[in-house]
Copies of this chain bind each other. A is one copy, B any other.
């Protein structure tokens, strides 16, 4: 837990139990959770945990570039702790989001362009391996 406190201090953010919990959750759960998923998980152990705190904290962590906000879903935002550049794949069937470990060659190019680029998002959408296999099995019967 100490490492999260250090991280917050390094960015001049006041350390609170709630913020540590949220950071810990994001660091230990790489499933690109929604704000509600974070909220309900943390509320289990601390019933007074507030939804607003989750949103406030996520907003602040995002402002300090400690977390990434994914707009891959059409209905809600997803969050992740990992901040090194990678892309994402969303399965339209099961909803799972996977990390795609590729370096975008246009990142460098865009950095030199007329635009001041601060974020790069690569989203692929389709059907994941597991769901594809299930489809095949179904159609065989």
Contacts and interface: CB of A to CB of B under 8 A. Distances in A.
Contacts of A115: 89, 98, 124, 126-129
A4 interface: no
B124 A110 contact: yes
Contact of A105 (B72, B105, B132): B105
Contacts of A110: 89, 100, 124
23 contacts: A71-B72, A71-B73, A71-B74, A89-B110, A92-B118, A98-B115, A100-B110, A102-B109, A104-B106, A106-B122, A115-B126, A115-B127, A115-B128, A115-B129, A117-B124, A119-B124, A119-B125, A119-B126, A120-B123, A121-B122, A121-B123, A121-B124, A121-B125
In the A-B complex, the 5 residue pairs with the closest CB atoms: A118-B126, A119-B125, A121-B123, A116-B127, A117-B126
